[in-house]
Chain A
Amino acid sequence: MELLCIRQWISGLLPTWLSAWCIKPVGGALVRQEPEYILLALMGSPLKKIMLCSSEKEIFSVEEQVMVQHSVIINNMIEDGSYNHEESKIPLDCVDSKTLKKVIDYCTHHTHHHNDNQEDLEAWDAQFLNVDSNGLYDLLMAANYLEIRNLLDLIYGTIKNMIKGKKIDEIRRIFNIKDHGFTPEEEEQNRKEYPHFY
């Protein structure tokens, strides 16, 4: 309680306290102190929710702070005022419901658990990405569209590990590349010149 009074006093001195204490994300920079989070709630601004609409027209309600911290696109929409809290929903026509739900899960977990230790977060991330290839591509495209930096880094890292150290035939199998696009002569030439790659 005492802490709250001090912070209220300070906030009175700083007209821009809202922007000072809230987060200005750059797609995933999570720097938030829990007291301020509580302060926000207690100061009478309820945890604002925003509506996201998937390509299948399903509506997802999610805390504004969560999405604003992670997604540069959504943050920009909220900041420039093009999003009206009373009426609007943000249409995400290129993200299907299943993927959108996962993206929201990721952002929500990382917002609420950012103080967890590194190992726990990494374990959660590993479990989160335990999906099939198609699911991974969908997540990648959604994270790219919404510009969620830390999710992008995570997925790129995972794909990089899928590629590193593997032989060509195995890479083609993992990524389902049935038609490699080389002419039979080119393919034969490659195999002859670099047999150890295959």
Chain B
Amino acid sequence: MEEKKQKSINEILPVELIQRILLRIPVKHLGRLKCVSKLWYSLISDPHFAESHLHLSLAPTHGYLFQKDSTEAFLVHLEEVFNGDNYEVKEVSFPFKKQPPSEFSIRGSCRGFVLLSREPHFFVVWNPLTGFSKKISYSCMVPRNMGRYFNFLDHAILYGFGYDASRDDYLVVVAWQNGGCQRLDCLSLRTNSWISLDAALPKPLCLTEWPSRGLFLNGSIHWLSYSHVKYYCEGLLVFDLKERSFSKIYLPEQLTMRGPTTFVILGGCLALYFHDYVERKTHIWVMKEYKVQSSWTSYAIPGLEFDPLCLSNGSDIIGVDPFRVSIRVGSTKLVKYNIREELLQHFTCPSHIRHYSYNYCYTVYTESLAAP
């Protein structure tokens, strides 16, 4: 009896049970737990562990990164902000060498990594939780006569950041237009090299805006596609990262809405939303089963200015009521609704912290220990 009392958890429990315990700890605590014992260190550091943790997603934690202007951004931990403990929205310190930092733009995220673009001509892939960052230049793509006049905003048509599981590689996909010529390039983070995929680019490309940001889900990057005949969103353009080819998902008839439509990933599903100025609601349509037309489910959030960001606890929708300059003077608010469209909680950001919805420079990422 005495002897048993002396034993530690590492000696009593088999390794796989300790691993399962650790898989259930929210990712942000795991860094600290590496220091508890050598066994825990090796379990947490194992790349398969990070992968399993991401897949298991028992309690995914989301970071909401948004820009105030071209040199400053803020980070909010969306699950913590409603814990009622005077959450502090922190300014983000990026892993850039120059201090104070020069301009940057948030361009998307994938599996715990955030993609930023900076001039002249490079991207930064950054994991805010682990601090890992890598710089990738695209200057070799710039036509010689353009030089610094070739910039992302003016010349990119669509872009996206995703993960190719078959090659265990993170990819940045960008389509450019220069003069009359359209090109498609795919950057591999693993090899730090670009592949030209011009032939795969569908013509014509009907997108909502240029550059159009893609969202990564299920091994493909998706963009909203507009019908060039009628003025509404007719479907999604899909780029499969493994096959390196495009396809389309058409929306069911009742979903083709008029007016600006945006999309977001909620709880691992694609969701389209638009603001109904007549009913003063935000309509959200979620494709519960990927590529299954009949699985589109609708929700109506009773808030005109509500941009959904993520799903919490499996069914609560957290979103932002962004600062709309033209309508009123106010603050950026984060709000949480449950599945019955009832308001659960809200949090008001300090007035100096504002998220402008129209410049689209924000992203929601799932915190992860993944390393490329």
Contacts and interface: CB of A to CB of B under 8 A. Distances in A.
Interface residues of B, number: 25
A140 B39 contact: no
A5 to B, nearest CB: 38
A156 B9 contact: no
Interface size class of A (residues with CB under 8 A): 20 to 34
A137 B12 contact: yes
Given A180-B37, A180-B38, A181-B38, A164 B9 contact: no
B326 interface: no
A198 B20 CA distance: 24
Nearest to B23: A156
Given A134-B12, A164-B25, A181 B20 contact: no
Nearest to B59: A160
B32 interface: yes
B37 A177 contact: yes
B37 A156 contact: no
A174 B8 CA distance: 9
B9 A163 contact: no
Contact of B37 (A134, A144, A172): A172
A197 interface: yes
B60 to A, nearest CB: 15
B36 A159 contact: no
A194 B29 CA distance: 13
Contact of B20 (A156, A163, A182): A156
A178 interface: yes
Contacts of A84: none
A157 B1 CA distance: 27
B36 A160 contact: no
Contact of A197 (B4, B12, B32): B32
Contact of A190 (B7, B24, B29, B35): B35
B9 A197 contact: no
A39 interface: no
Nearest to B7: A176
Interface string A166-198: 001001100111111110000000100010011
Contacts of B29: 163-165
B36 A168 contact: yes
Contact of B8 (A144, A175, A198): A175
Contacts of B36: 168, 171-172, 177, 180
B369 to A, nearest CB: 16
B28 to A, nearest CB: 10
Nearest to A164: B29
Given A134-B5, A177-B10, A140 B38 contact: no
Contacts of B145: none
B8 A179 contact: yes
Given A172-B37, A180-B36, A180-B37, A140 B7 contact: no
B229 interface: no
Contacts of B6: 176, 178
B8 A197 contact: no
Interface of B: 4-10, 12-14, 17, 20-21, 24-26, 29, 32-33, 35-39, 41
22 contacts: A133-B9, A134-B7, A137-B9, A141-B14, A141-B17, A144-B17, A156-B21, A160-B21, A163-B21, A171-B33, A175-B9, A176-B5, A177-B36, A180-B37, A181-B38, A181-B39, A182-B37, A182-B38, A182-B41, A190-B35, A194-B32, A198-B35
